[in-house]
Amino acid sequence: MGEKTFSPNNWERLVSADRERMLPVESFIELSKPQASEIWADIGCGPGYFTLPIAERVKKIYAIDISDEMLQVCRNRALEKKITNIEYVKIKNERLPFSKQFFDKILLVNVYHELEDSKKIINELKRTIKSNGRIYLIDWKYEEMEFGPPLEHRIPPDKVVDEFKQKNISLIEISEIYRFNYVLVFGRRDGDE
């Protein structure tokens, strides 16, 4: 992952009331409809802002991050809430240590713009998502704001869609549930392994 990564020292900002106003989890829950039988991945989980509410609704979720500190914060927050169906996975790069078609749904929130090699992660997403699965990519809108990463770090959604399309992953939906972030929902094309 890139040098543009969010500092673990600022993790409390990722679970703040301001973030809840800007990026309400319940809006995503309504969109993605987590099911009790599903296995999820939250890539770049940070302190578990999305991980914990999803965990309360699914069979298992894998909290995946490059930061030991963020994974520990996520683990501590889950323990406080007595959530036990989360597996914590540290990764060093875009390689995901899971078998083919492992996940029902994969979530990436404000991670894509931090990647050094987006093509590698797209290959890994395609490899690890089930044939009928969904990939939810949430990232900063490509516009100047007084907060968030600078514009030169943000990636326009049409560029993201093109990168996924090149790997035979189809755009299913563009959701406007957030004011400052776009939400892209992807799925594998029929017949792909």
Domain assignment present for 80: yes
Domain assignment present for 40: yes
Which ranges in the chain belong to alpha helices (H)? 17-22, 25-32, 51-55, 68-80, 118-128, 157-166
Tokens encoding 28: 């995503």
pTM across the whole model:
0.91
63 phi and psi, to 5 degrees?
-85, 115
Dihedral angle, C-alpha 96, 99, 100, 101, nearest 10 °: -90
Domain assignment present for 94: yes
Give first-to-last CA distance, the chain, whole Å: 26
Question: Which pLDDT band, with edges at 50, 70 and 90, does 1 fall under?
Answer: very low
Q: What is the CATH number of the domain that holds 56?
A: 3.40.50.150
Q: How far is 2 from 182, CA to CA, in rounded Å?
A: 21
Domain assignment present for 193: no
Domain assignment present for 156: yes
Averaged pLDDT, 9-32:
83
Give me the domain span that covers residue 90. Answer: 8-188
- For 113-163, how does the pLDDT look when each residue is reduced to its tens digit (9 = 90+)? 999 889 999 999 999 999 999 999 999 999 999 999 999 999 999 999 999
Domain assignment present for 2: no
Q: How far is 5 from 87, CA to CA, in rounded Å?
A: 22
- For 61-90, how does the pLDDT look when each residue is reduced to its tens digit (9 = 90+)? 999 999 999 999 999 999 999 999 999 999
Domain assignment present for 114: yes
Domain assignment present for 141: yes
Q: Is the pLDDT of residue 185 over 50?
A: yes
What pLDDT was estimated at residue 94?
A: 84
Q: What's the total number of domains in the chain? A: 1
Question: Which pLDDT band, with edges at 50, 70 and 90, does 188 fall under?
Answer: confident
Interior CA angle at 157 toward 35 and 112, to 5°? Answer: 65
